[in-house]
Amino acid sequence: MSENATAFDSVLEACQDQHRRIVLGVLTEERRSLTLNELTEAVVTHNHRTPPAEAPEDVLREIRLSLYHVHLRKLDAEGFVNYDPVRQLVEPTDRLAQAQSTLSPILAADPSLETPLEL
Protein backbone atom coordinates (compact mmCIF):
# COMPACT_ATOMS: atom_id res chain seq x y z
CA MET A 1 0.00 0.00 0.00
CA SER A 2 1.37 3.42 -0.90
CA GLU A 3 2.13 6.07 1.69
CA ASN A 4 -0.69 8.28 0.33
CA ALA A 5 -3.22 5.45 0.64
CA THR A 6 -2.08 4.74 4.18
CA ALA A 7 -2.42 8.44 5.07
CA PHE A 8 -5.88 8.56 3.49
CA ASP A 9 -7.00 5.47 5.42
CA SER A 10 -5.67 7.00 8.63
CA VAL A 11 -7.74 10.16 8.11
CA LEU A 12 -10.84 8.10 7.34
CA GLU A 13 -10.31 6.02 10.48
CA ALA A 14 -9.90 9.15 12.59
CA CYS A 15 -13.08 10.66 11.13
CA GLN A 16 -15.31 7.66 11.88
CA ASP A 17 -16.49 9.25 15.12
CA GLN A 18 -18.24 12.63 15.22
CA HIS A 19 -16.41 13.71 18.38
CA ARG A 20 -13.09 13.15 16.62
CA ARG A 21 -14.31 15.05 13.55
CA ILE A 22 -15.21 17.99 15.77
CA VAL A 23 -11.84 17.88 17.56
CA LEU A 24 -9.93 17.71 14.27
CA GLY A 25 -12.01 20.52 12.77
CA VAL A 26 -11.57 22.82 15.76
CA LEU A 27 -7.83 22.15 16.00
CA THR A 28 -7.49 22.83 12.27
CA GLU A 29 -9.36 26.13 12.54
CA GLU A 30 -7.70 27.30 15.75
CA ARG A 31 -4.16 26.19 14.82
CA ARG A 32 -3.08 26.16 18.44
CA SER A 33 -3.02 23.92 21.49
CA LEU A 34 -6.36 23.49 23.23
CA THR A 35 -7.31 22.14 26.62
CA LEU A 36 -9.52 19.14 27.24
CA ASN A 37 -12.14 21.55 28.63
CA GLU A 38 -12.10 23.66 25.46
CA LEU A 39 -12.53 20.57 23.29
CA THR A 40 -15.31 19.26 25.52
CA GLU A 41 -17.13 22.57 25.13
CA ALA A 42 -16.60 22.45 21.34
CA VAL A 43 -18.17 18.97 21.15
CA VAL A 44 -21.15 20.11 23.24
CA THR A 45 -21.60 23.19 21.09
CA HIS A 46 -21.30 21.44 17.72
CA ASN A 47 -22.76 18.02 18.51
CA HIS A 48 -25.52 18.90 20.96
CA ARG A 49 -26.25 22.42 19.69
CA THR A 50 -26.17 23.61 23.29
CA PRO A 51 -24.07 26.34 24.88
CA PRO A 52 -21.69 24.63 27.34
CA ALA A 53 -23.11 26.63 30.26
CA GLU A 54 -26.57 25.16 29.56
CA ALA A 55 -25.47 21.55 29.05
CA PRO A 56 -26.31 19.05 31.77
CA GLU A 57 -23.33 18.11 33.91
CA ASP A 58 -23.67 14.40 33.10
CA VAL A 59 -23.44 15.17 29.35
CA LEU A 60 -20.31 17.26 29.87
CA ARG A 61 -18.76 14.54 32.04
CA GLU A 62 -19.56 11.80 29.49
CA ILE A 63 -18.04 13.77 26.60
CA ARG A 64 -14.98 14.74 28.63
CA LEU A 65 -14.36 11.13 29.67
CA SER A 66 -14.77 9.81 26.12
CA LEU A 67 -12.33 12.42 24.82
CA TYR A 68 -9.87 11.76 27.65
CA HIS A 69 -9.91 7.97 27.51
CA VAL A 70 -10.70 7.18 23.87
CA HIS A 71 -10.74 9.84 21.18
CA LEU A 72 -7.71 11.97 22.03
CA ARG A 73 -5.59 8.88 22.61
CA LYS A 74 -6.62 7.53 19.20
CA LEU A 75 -5.78 10.84 17.48
CA ASP A 76 -2.44 10.89 19.30
CA ALA A 77 -1.69 7.30 18.24
CA GLU A 78 -2.44 8.24 14.61
CA GLY A 79 -0.07 11.22 14.90
CA PHE A 80 -2.65 13.98 14.33
CA VAL A 81 -2.19 15.47 17.81
CA ASN A 82 0.19 15.42 20.71
CA TYR A 83 -1.98 14.67 23.72
CA ASP A 84 -0.74 15.22 27.25
CA PRO A 85 -3.31 13.60 29.56
CA VAL A 86 -1.57 14.91 32.68
CA ARG A 87 -1.71 18.55 31.57
CA GLN A 88 -4.94 17.85 29.64
CA LEU A 89 -3.53 19.66 26.64
CA VAL A 90 -3.95 18.78 22.97
CA GLU A 91 -1.57 20.16 20.35
CA PRO A 92 -2.10 19.81 16.61
CA THR A 93 0.83 18.26 14.75
CA ASP A 94 2.32 18.77 11.31
CA ARG A 95 0.60 15.56 10.25
CA LEU A 96 -2.77 17.18 10.91
CA ALA A 97 -1.80 20.15 8.75
CA GLN A 98 -0.66 17.78 6.00
CA ALA A 99 -3.99 15.92 6.17
CA GLN A 100 -5.97 19.11 5.61
CA SER A 101 -6.69 18.41 1.93
CA THR A 102 -8.28 15.08 2.86
CA LEU A 103 -9.89 16.24 6.10
CA SER A 104 -11.65 19.37 4.79
CA PRO A 105 -14.01 17.60 2.36
CA ILE A 106 -14.90 15.00 5.01
CA LEU A 107 -15.83 17.69 7.53
CA ALA A 108 -17.70 19.67 4.90
CA ALA A 109 -19.71 16.59 3.91
CA ASP A 110 -20.92 15.95 7.47
CA PRO A 111 -24.48 17.35 7.43
CA SER A 112 -24.56 17.61 11.23
CA LEU A 113 -21.57 19.97 11.43
CA GLU A 114 -21.50 23.63 10.62
CA THR A 115 -18.16 24.70 9.22
CA PRO A 116 -15.92 26.32 10.14
CA LEU A 117 -15.72 24.59 13.49
CA GLU A 118 -14.66 27.35 15.83
CA LEU A 119 -14.62 27.66 19.59
Residue 114 domain-assigned?
A: no
Residue at 29 is within a domain? yes
CATH number of the structural domain spanning residue 34: 1.10.10
Q: Is residue 116 part of a domain?
A: no
| Residue 119, in any domain of the structure | no
Number of domains forming the structure of the chain? 1
Residue 80's domain comprises 3-109
- At 16-55, the pLDDT tens digits run 999 999 999 999 999 999 999 999 999 999 888 888 999 9
Residue 118 lies in a domain: no
Strands 81-84 and 34-35: unpaired
Asked whether residue 117 is domain-assigned, the answer is no
Predicted TM-score of the model (pTM)? 0.92
